[in-house]
C-alpha cells in the first residue's frame, strides 16, 4: 500500500515495542515479555512509558541490569522499483485492516450495502518481532483474518458484545474446549490508541499459559476520520433512513490464523487406550479435529494389496475424489493404516475387502468411535455426505 496509508493510520509513528539489552550478556528482549516485568502489554501506540522498576531478570544469564528501553519499530521497510531513494520506500503490512478502511466507500457503493455490514479479509502480515518463538505462536510472517464491521454510531457497544459472543462460539463450535478459552478485557493503560474498548480471546497453551488468539476492538470512527483527513477523500456514509451523512463506527475481530490452528491442533490431540488386534489394549493417538478442519476427509484402504481388491479400491477412490480431499493407502496392516489416519485426523476410512466383490459394499469406519458400518458402494457418496 501507499506508505501514506501507514502514516495516516498512525503505524509509521507508533507501531513499536520496547526493546532492552542485557548489560551482562548483551542479548536483546522485548521489555514487556521479561519475567517479572509488569507493564502494559504492547499497545503499539509508542506513548506508554516502560517501567523497569519491577527489576526483571535476564532469561539468558539471570542478571537484572538492562539498557533503558527504546522504541523498536515493527514494520519491515523495503524499496519498490529499481531506485533506492526515499520516494520508493514501502512497508510490508503489519496488519490487513487498513485496506478495508481506505476501500470502505468503494466496497459500500459497489455492493450497495446498508449499515450494518462487514468487510473481511485473510492474508499475510509481517512484523519484525523482537522475540519470535513458542512454536508458531509468534512469527515474523503470519496469517491474519480480520473483519471491519461498520455500524451506526450508538449501536457500537451492542454490536461489540454480539461479535465477542459470536467469535467465542466459533472456537467452541469448531472443537476447542470451553475451559481452555477465556475473555480478557484490556485495561485503560493497555488500550490501543484507536480503541474505545478491546477484549481478547485467550487460549490456555500448555507451554505458555494463557495467550491471545484474537482481539475484538471497538475502533469507533477513528480510522475513517484519520484516512479522510490525510487523503481528502470523503469517507462518510449516507444513511437514507435517517437522511444524514456520518462516519460509521467499526467493530474489528482480528484473528491470528496460525495461533488458532495451533490451538485447534493442541485441543484435538489425545492419546487413549484402544483395543489391540492382538487382544488387550494399546495406546492410540488421535487428532480429533472437527470434520470441517480435518485436511483429509476420507481414506480409502484396500484390506490388502491384492489384485482382486486393488481395482475396486481404485474405483471407490475415483468415485470419492471429486467430492472430498481423499487419501489412498495400501501399505502395511489394516490396523496400522487406521492408526495412521487417526493420527492425522481423517474422520472416516473406507475399507474394501474380499466380500466387496460379491456384495458391492464397503466398510466405513469412524475415527472417534471406531464403529464400523457396511455401506453399498452405490449409496456411499450420499452416506459420507450425511456424516461429513
Ligand atoms: N488490526 C488489529 C491487529 O492486528 P493484533 O492484536 O496486533 O491486532 C491480531 O493482531 C491477531 O494477530 C493477534 O490476536 C494474534 O493472534 C495475531 N498475531 C499478531 N502478531 C502475531 C505474530 N507475530 N505471530 C503470529 N500471530 C500474530
In the predicted structure, residue 196 carries a pLDDT above the cut 60: yes
Nearest CA to ligand 1 atom 26: 256
CA of 195 to the centre of ligand 1 (A): 15
Is the CB of 254 within 6 Å of ligand 1? Answer: yes
Is the CB of 144 within 6 Å of ligand 1? Answer: yes
Angle at 200 between CA 223 and CA 179, to 5 degrees: 160
What is residue 36's predicted lDDT score, i.e. its pLDDT? 63
The best mutation among 10, 120, 139, 256 to test binding of ligand 1, ranked by most ligand atoms within 8 Å of the C-beta, falls on: 256
Strand partners, 120: 147
Closest Cα to residue 214, out of 162, 160, 171? 171
What distance in Å separates the CA atoms of residue 272 and residue 13, rounded to the nearest whole number?
A: 52
Handedness of CA 61, 64, 69, 75 (dihedral sign): positive
What distance in Å separates the CA atoms of residue 17 and residue 27, rounded to the nearest whole number?
A: 16
Is the CB of 248 within 6 Å of ligand 1? Answer: no
What is residue 138's predicted lDDT score, i.e. its pLDDT? 96
What is the phi/psi pair of residue 89, to 5°?
-65, 130
In the predicted structure, residue 86 carries a pLDDT above the cut 80: no
Kindly tell me the burial class for residue 132, based on how many C-beta atoms sit within 10 Å of its own C-beta (0-12, 13-18, 19 or more). middle
What is residue 45's predicted lDDT score, i.e. its pLDDT? 43
Nearest CA to ligand 1 atom 15: 256
C-alpha cell at 84: 533506492
Percent of the chain predicted with pLDDT > 70: 95
What is residue 69's predicted lDDT score, i.e. its pLDDT? 85
Is the CB of 194 within 6 Å of ligand 1? Answer: no
Q: What count of other Cβ atoms lies within 10 Å of the Cβ of residue 266?
A: 16
What is residue 155's predicted lDDT score, i.e. its pLDDT? 98
The best mutation among 131, 254, 262, 264 to test binding of ligand 1, ranked by most ligand atoms within 8 Å of the C-beta, falls on: 254
Mean local confidence (pLDDT), 143-162: 98
Q: Which residue has the higher pLDDT, 45 or 68?
A: 68
Nearest CA to ligand 1 atom 10: 254
Q: Is the peptide bond before 116 cis (omega within 30 degrees of 0)?
A: yes
Is the CB of 48 within 6 Å of ligand 1? Answer: no
Nearest CA to ligand 1 atom 27: 256
pLDDT tens-digit readout, 236-269: 999 999 999 999 999 999 999 999 999 999 999 9
Q: Which residues contact 297 (CB under 8 A, 6 or more apart)?
A: 291, 324, 325, 326, 346, 347, 348, 384, 388
Mean local confidence (pLDDT), 293-297: 97
CA of 94 to the centre of ligand 1 (A): 9
Mean local confidence (pLDDT), 52-71: 81
Least confident residue range of 47-56, 93-102, 138-147: 47-56
pLDDT band (50, 70, 90) for residue 388: very high
Mean local confidence (pLDDT), 151-179: 98
C-alpha cell at 23: 548489560
Closest Cα to residue 249, out of 121, 104, 122? 104
Residue located via cell numbers 463506527: 249
β-sheet with 298-302: strand ranges across: 326-328, 298-302, 348-352, 361-366, 372-376
Least confident residue range of 24-28, 231-235, 254-258, 361-365: 24-28
In the predicted structure, residue 338 carries a pLDDT above the cut 50: yes
In the predicted structure, residue 308 carries a pLDDT above the cut 70: yes
In the predicted structure, residue 300 carries a pLDDT above the cut 90: yes
Handedness of CA 34, 37, 40, 45 (dihedral sign): negative
Closest Cα to residue 25, out of 55, 64, 53? 64
Angle at 79 between CA 73 and CA 84, to 5 degrees: 115
CA of 215 to the centre of ligand 1 (A): 8
Helices 309-320 and 380-387, packing angle to 10 deg: 50
Nearest CA to ligand 1 atom 7: 95
Q: Which residues contact 70 (CB under 8 A, 6 or more apart)?
A: 18, 19, 20
Three-state SS for 363? strand
Closest Cα to residue 252, out of 284, 297, 218, 279? 218
pLDDT tens-digit readout, 262-293: 999 999 999 999 988 788 999 999 999 999 99
- Highest average pLDDT, of 8-22, 186-200, 341-355, comes from 341-355
Q: Residue 156 is inside which H or E element, if any?
A: helix 156-173
pLDDT tens-digit readout, 8-56: 999 998 888 888 898 999 988 888 778 766 444 444 444 444 455 566 8
Is the CB of 121 within 6 Å of ligand 1? Answer: no
What distance in Å separates the CA atoms of residue 16 and residue 330, rounded to the nearest whole number?
A: 53
Do 69 and 42 form a contact (C-beta atoms < 8 A)?
no
Nearest CA to ligand 1 atom 6: 215
Q: What DSSP letter does each residue of 268-307 carry, written as one string?
A: HEEEEEEE-TTSSEEEEEEE---TTT-S--EEEEESSS-T
Q: Which residue has the higher pLDDT, 46 or 317?
A: 317
What is residue 188's predicted lDDT score, i.e. its pLDDT? 87
What is residue 279's predicted lDDT score, i.e. its pLDDT? 87
In the predicted structure, residue 217 carries a pLDDT above the cut 50: yes
What is residue 73's predicted lDDT score, i.e. its pLDDT? 92
Mean pLDDT, all residues of the chain: 92
What is residue 53's predicted lDDT score, i.e. its pLDDT? 57
CA of 214 to the centre of ligand 1 (A): 7
* Residue 257 alpha carbon, nearest atom of ligand 1: 16
Nearest CA to ligand 1 atom 16: 256
What distance in Å separates the CA atoms of residue 287 and residue 6, rounded to the nearest whole number?
A: 41
Q: Distances from the Cα of 115 to the Cαs of 27, 100, 112, 240, in angstroms?
A: 50, 15, 10, 10
Nearest CA to ligand 1 atom 2: 254
Amino acid at each position: 500500500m501507499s506508505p501514506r496509508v501507514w502514516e495516516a493510520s498512525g503505524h509509521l509513528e507508533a507501531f513499536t515495542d520496547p526493546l532492552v539489552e542485557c548489560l551482562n550478556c548483551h542479548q536483546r528482549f522485548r521489555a514487556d515479555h521479561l519475567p517479572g516485568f509488569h507493564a502494559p502489554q504492547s499497545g503499539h501506540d509508542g506513548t506508554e512509558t516502560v517501567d523497569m522498576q519491577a527489576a526483571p531478570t535476564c532469561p539468558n544469564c539471570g542478571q537484572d541490569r538492562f539498557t533503558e528501553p527504546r522504541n523498536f519499530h515493527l514494520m519491515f521497510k523495503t524499496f519498490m522499483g529499481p531506485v533506492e531513494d526515499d520516494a520508493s520506500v514501502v512497508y510490508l503490512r503489519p496488519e490487513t485492516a487498513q485496506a478495508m478502511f481506505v476501500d470502505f466507500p468503494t466496497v459500500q457503493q459497489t455492493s450497495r450495502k446498508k449499515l450494518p455490514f462487514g468487510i473481511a479479509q485473510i492474508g499475510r502480515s509481517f512484523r519484525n518481532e523482537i522475540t519470535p518463538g513458542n512454536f508458531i505462536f509468534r512469527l515474523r510472517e503470519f496469517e491474519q483474518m480480520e473483519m471491519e464491521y461498520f455500524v451506526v454510531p450508538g449501536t457500537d457497544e451492542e454490536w461489540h458484545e454480539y461479535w465477542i459472543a459470536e467469535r467465542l462460539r466459533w472456537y467452541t463450535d469448531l472443537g476447542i474446549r470451553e475451559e481452555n478459552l477465556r475473555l480478557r478485557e484490556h485495561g485503560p493503560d493497555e488500550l490501543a490508541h484507536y480503541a474505545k474498548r478491546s477484549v481478547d480471546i485467550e487460549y490456555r497453551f500448555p507451554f505458555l499459559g494463557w495467550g491471545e488468539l484474537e482481539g475484538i476492538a471497538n475502533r469507533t470512527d477513528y480510522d475513517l476520520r484519520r484516512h479522510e483527513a490525510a487523503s481528502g477523500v470523503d469517507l462518510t456514509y449516507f444513511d437514507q433512513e435517517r437522511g444524514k451523512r456520518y462516519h460509521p463506527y467499526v467493530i474489528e475481530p482480528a484473528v491470528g490464523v496460525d495461533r488458532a490452528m495451533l490451538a485447534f491442533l493442541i485441543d484435538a490431540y489425545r492419546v487413549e487406550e484402544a483395543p489391540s488386534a492382538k487382544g488387550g489394549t494399546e495406546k492410540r493417538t488421535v487428532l480429533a479435529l472437527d470434520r470441517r478442519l480435518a485436511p483429509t476427509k476420507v481414506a480409502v484402504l484396500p484390506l490388502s494389496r491384492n489384485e482382486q481388491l486393488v481395482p475396486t479400491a481404485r474405483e471407490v477412490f475415483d468415485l470419492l475424489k471429486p467430492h472430498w480431499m481423499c487419501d489412498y493407502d495400501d501399505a502395511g496392516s489394516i490396523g496400522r493404516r487406521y492408526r495412521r489416519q487417526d493420527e492425522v485426523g481423517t474422520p472416516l476410512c473406507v475399507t474394501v475387502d474380499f466380500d466387496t466383490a460379491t456384495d458391492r459394499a464397503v466398510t466405513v469406519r469412524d475415527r472417534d468411535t471406531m464403529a464400523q458400518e457396511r455401506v453399498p458402494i452405490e449409496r456411499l457418496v450420499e452416506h459420507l455426505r450425511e456424516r461429513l
